[in-house]
Amino acid sequence: MATYVIGDLQGCLTPLVQLLENIQYHPKQDTLWFAGDLINRGDESLETLRFVKSLGDSARLVLGNHDLHLLAVSHGFGTLKRGDTLTEILTASDRDELMDWLRKQPLCYYDEQLNTVMTHAGIPPCWDLEQTLALAKEVENTLQSDTVEDFFASMYGNTPNQWNDTLTGMDRLRAITNYLTRMRFCNKNSKLDLKSKEGVNTATKGYAPWFAYPSKVPTECHIVFGHWAALEGKTQQDHIHALDTGCVWGGSLTALRLEDKQRFSTPCTLRKPS
């Protein structure tokens, strides 16, 4: 029995199937974790969503920014952007079933036995594990409530870009969402820079990757995340694991086996998105 964490799929099912063959995945014995952004930009977004859903209880996933974008558009909010490959999902016969399943997924998942926590973008320096789980739950409860359309109507935006426990309403939910699904760079006070998206050496003055600061999450707890392909899977931290290795951009798809922290990668030969 093994647990594998897999980086951003972004609609790339073919490399996933190849990766699962390479690691000799056993559906009845092994568990797959997906670090968010199952869909978008790749050519197989609908098939990818259906496949992960079909895994049932043998899979765990967290929502990424692209997954939330799909949910928002499916509810009539947000607009499709150049390069989006979501139309096939939005017009699928099982669209409603897929969207209902997707919005029931968490933004943060923690396995106590493995002492590992997963979010799409990471955990800001100002939050400990308990707070991260509690704040993620606030958004998860909203996604599954009757006020979900109010959330999607206000989800997009870069402010507030600094956490404050006194935040309320949609500002609070948007901030939580941005930290868990869009964060890359922040300053020592966890103020976000959501405009910089390249490698660690491109940070605005006074900002650094979120994992470069002392964390309130103890080092005994491993953090796994995706989202940031420019890291090329490297954080220089033994307990913080970056798993987006740019599959959709012609890079590779990576899996981390949690029991021994061994990595497995499969090259991605799908066309690069335009």
Two tokens, residue 178: 């941005």
Domain spans of the chain, in order of start = 3-267
Q: What's the CATH architecture for 3-267?
A: 4-Layer Sandwich (3.60)
Q: Residue 23: CB partners within 8 Å, gap ≥ 6?
A: 2, 4, 255, 257, 264
Please tell me the total number of residues recorded for the chain in this structure.
274
| Segment 64-70 mean pLDDT | 99
pLDDT of residue 274: 47
| Segment 1-8 mean pLDDT | 98
| Segment 197-226 mean pLDDT | 96
The tokens 């895994």 sit on which residue? Answer: 55
How many whole angstroms separate alpha carbon 11 and alpha carbon 83?
12
pLDDT of residue 94: 99
CB contact at 8 A, 7 and 247: yes
Closest CA to 246 of 198, 193, 183: 198
- Does residue 270 have a pLDDT over 90? no
Predicted structure pTM score: 0.97
